[in-house]
Amino acid sequence: LFMFFAILAKGQYYLRGEVKDDKGNALQNVKIFQHSSRSIYQTGPWGSFGIKSLLGSDTLTFTIDGYETASKVLSHNQWQTIVLKASTVNSNKSKPRLISLSGNENSDGRFTSTFDNETYFKLVENEFVPARQFPKNSFSLNVNKASYSNVRRFINMQSIVPTDAVRIEEMVNYFNLFYHKPVNNNLFNIETQISSCPWNANGQLLFLNVSARKLDMSKVPPANLVFLIDVSGSMDMPNRLPLLKAAFQLFVKNLRPIDQVSIVVYGGSVGLWLEPTSGIYKDSIAKSIEQLTAAGDTPGESAIRAAYNLAGKTYISNGVNRVILATDGDFNVGEKSEEALEELITVQKQSGVYLTCLGVGMGNFKDSKLQTLAKKGNGNYAYLDDIMEAEKVLVQELTQTFYAVADDVVMNLEFNPLLVKQYRLIGFDNRRDAVTDPSSYIEGGEIGSGSSTLAIFEIITSMPQASDSQNIALIKLRYSLCNNPNVEYLNFPVINNFEPFNRLHNELKLATSIAMFGMQLRNSKYLGTTTWQMIYDIALQSANTSNFLQNEYLSLISKADELYNGPKKRPGKRKKKN
């Protein structure tokens, strides 16, 4: 009885109203974000709503595709009519997003490709663009790293790599090459370099690098992490749930006492496996993970809703709030299509919770779904092919994976047509459905702490030797600070600092080899004089063979060469050049 009256004393109110368009028509299924509870609701068939609140007045935000978002403070003692205005901008929210844009995109065909029941988005390779007609190029710096480890999985299994599994920008940035710490507490360090092109005697390469500031972990705010783990029947294989269990065990060792972890599982049904638990209780969290077993179907949609709901209830203001989804991506109950999942995550991310996707498995692996979820959830995506990759993602690159320094990051580049005749962005290829949709636009993404993002252009200059005093291009980097809607810009000139390829920094030469490797796997029409031997030679000259991953890359080239061309006698090992 005492508790009953205590609840009454605390107060419970109802916020009531309706949502209409500017013509007076009721709008149903409008998403409503309640700020005090960080919960999401939606309007009914007649556009009406009734929401419980512990406050007499509360702020609600109303969103629906095709209309401007509106935020209102509502009082419990009055019926409120919310009018949403039509918006051409917001109508694009459910449209596929471009990863890069030059202005001359044109393609048609299938939107996804299938390989052994695995699904990948069909990609359209970027072509040469005339700089005089289209001087501006933009691309998202939200670069995942899943493609490289997935490609490695296929090659190690002696299987031809599906063309659309090869995303060159992800392969190049897997190694975090050419990182240079920003100075004077700047958020970013930008560097550019121009060099000759190994496969095209008439071309040059333009390297653009953005290095993000490393956060001081002793000053990083507490983390609210929800592990969303797929324990369905399809995960009952050694390279799926057992691998994820081992991966999360590694991650748990790095938790701080101020961090908290919850676990939601789905397999047959959705359930709370571990209540929010402080990082000080590592043994309890590890034991809970070890007890997971696989069975049942895959209700991915409802599991995602449950995880976001839990993350909202345990939300830490000014903290790190993130859902970590670990799955093979094979949702078979509830919403399953990329489009439906895209809409689901678009709504859920309004709560300020980020998303990381960890993919595992083979045979029915759904790369396209995990790409969609990570992109729409302001997050990142990694593919775990073995325990060493898990250690790389969850331990060695912990801050890059889970701690963002900026959101909605887009690189805008304007070429000088007096110096550049044509240009081609290598990698950052668009999904075919995004290219064919005229309403598509670029959506930036998050940049992780201590990350290095490298982009490579192949350019054809307008004159043999341009003046050093003239800029090849101008960069305008667009970004927002985390959980801050204000847009910031950073301008940077691309100077004509040509350096012959044989004198180029080793890490840029290695990045070139990796880009060539990706083009070879994709059978690019821009391969030029590229051969497997050329790829190997450049890698051997530039790789740090004491670095395990770079040394492994050399082995991967040899395996791919034999896989695609048959066994051959490898020439004697060359001495590494300085």
Render pLDDT for 23-32 as a digit per residue (tens, 0 to 9). Answer: 888 888 788 8
Separation in Å, CA 208 to CA 189, 428, 477: 11, 13, 11
Res. 160 pLDDT band, cuts 50 70 90:
very high
**CA dist., res. 129 & res. 421, Å (int):** 8
Contacts of 185 (CB under 8 A, 6+ apart): 213
- 245 vs 5, higher pLDDT: 245
**CA dist., res. 49 & res. 30, Å (int):** 10
**CA dist., res. 435 & res. 105, Å (int):** 6
- Report the percent of the chain where pLDDT is more than 70: 85
**CA dist., res. 416 & res. 4, Å (int):** 72
pLDDT on residue 102:
66
Contact 543, 535 (CB under 8 A): no
pLDDT on residue 577:
44
Res. 422 pLDDT band, cuts 50 70 90:
very high
For residue 437, pLDDT beyond 90 = no
- Report the percent of the chain where pLDDT is more than 90: 54
Res. 371 pLDDT band, cuts 50 70 90:
confident
Res. 105 pLDDT band, cuts 50 70 90:
low
Res. 59 pLDDT band, cuts 50 70 90:
confident
Res. 89 pLDDT band, cuts 50 70 90:
very low
**Of the listed ranges 314-318, 361-365, 438-442, 524-528, the one predicted with least confidence:** 438-442
pLDDT on residue 90:
40
For residue 569, pLDDT beyond 70 = no
**CA dist., res. 134 & res. 126, Å (int):** 14
Res. 282 pLDDT band, cuts 50 70 90:
very high
pLDDT on residue 167:
95
pLDDT on residue 351:
74
> C-alpha 69: how far from its chain's center?
25
In terms of average pLDDT, the best of 83-87, 115-119, 207-211, 314-318 is 207-211
Which long-range contacts link 487-494 to residues 24+ away (Cβ below 8 Å)?
487/408, 490/188, 490/190, 492/190, 492/192, 494/192, 494/206, 494/208, 494/413
Sheet holding 452-461, edge to edge: 129-130, 420-426, 452-461, 204-212, 188-196, 498-499
Question: Average pLDDT of 55-70?
Answer: 82
pLDDT on residue 101:
66
For residue 273, pLDDT beyond 90 = yes
**If 0-12 CB within 10 Å is exposed, 13-18 middle and 19+ buried, where does residue 20 land?**
middle
CB 336: neighbour CB atoms within 10 A? Answer: 15
Res. 152 pLDDT band, cuts 50 70 90:
very high
For residue 108, pLDDT beyond 50 = no
Q: What is the dihedral of CA 340, 346, 351, 352, to 10 degrees?
A: 130
Contacts of 36 (CB under 8 A, 6+ apart): 53, 54, 55, 58, 59
Contact 360, 329 (CB under 8 A): no
Res. 6 pLDDT band, cuts 50 70 90:
very low
- 538 vs 440, higher pLDDT: 538
pLDDT on residue 357:
92
- 118 vs 3, higher pLDDT: 118
For residue 103, pLDDT beyond 70 = no
pLDDT on residue 21:
87
**If 0-12 CB within 10 Å is exposed, 13-18 middle and 19+ buried, where does residue 437 land?**
middle
> C-alpha 74: how far from its chain's center?
36
Question: Average pLDDT of 90-105?
Answer: 54
For residue 231, pLDDT beyond 70 = yes
Full-model pTM = 0.79
Average pLDDT score over the chain: 85
Separation in Å, CA 510 to CA 47, 172, 288, 552, 553: 57, 9, 42, 13, 10
pLDDT on residue 469:
61
Question: Average pLDDT of 556-565?
Answer: 96
Kindly state the tokens that stand for 412. 């805008």
Contact 414, 136 (CB under 8 A): yes
- 434 vs 511, higher pLDDT: 511
Contacts of 389 (CB under 8 A, 6+ apart): 149, 382, 383
Question: Average pLDDT of 360-372?
Answer: 82
- Grouping H, G, I as helix, E, B as strand and the rest as coil, residue 343 is helix
